[in-house]
Amino acid sequence: MAEQPPESARTLIEVVPALGEVAPLRPGDPVRVVIRFPLGHYRVPLYLRGKTGTVERLVTPAIDNEEEGFGRNAGDRRYYYRIVFPMTEIWTDYAGPPHDNLRIEVFETWLESARHA
């Protein structure tokens, strides 16, 4: 039988988190920006589609801004992640040293794990 964790570390088992409330990604995780092309509104620049980077940090959960752009202002939230991409990953002909990089907040629905790439 499993040992009970200390009181302070226990969570209330009857509480069900909202959709997206638990972040599936952690700092250091390798991720890829999915390739898709929404009509009308998006906040992931085209230059990042299909590019692989690393999670730098989690940003406060927020409403999907593609929906917010059309008037939704409440309801379930997901995380933004600040992602680091080497410049040489984004631009194959980048004119600078390989340690130069770009950092950007990307909404969770745009990211897939690249761990087993």
Distances, alpha carbon 8 to alpha carbons 3, 5, 11, 22, in Å: 14, 8, 8, 19
Which of 23, 25, 62, 114 forms a contact with other proteins (CB under 8 A)? 62
Q: Which is nearer to other proteins, 28 or 40 (CB)?
A: 40
Q: Which of 13, 15, 95, 117 binds other proteins (CB under 8 A)?
A: 95
Helix ranges restricted to H, 1-117: 65-68, 87-90
Minimal distance, residue 72 CB to other proteins, in Å = 9
* Residue 73 is a binding residue for other proteins (CB under 8 A): yes
Do the strands 111-113 and 30-33 form a parallel or antiparallel pair, or are they unpaired? antiparallel
Q: Is 76 exposed, middle or buried (0-12, 13-18, 19+ CB in 10 A)?
A: exposed
**Other beta carbons within 10 Å of 6:** 7
Q: Give yes or no for residue 105 binding other proteins (CB under 8 A).
A: yes
User: CB of 117: closest distance to other proteins in angstroms?
Assistant: 23
Chain residues binding other proteins by CB under 8 A are 37, 39-47, 59-60, 62, 65, 68-71, 73, 80, 82, 87, 90-91, 94-97, 99-107
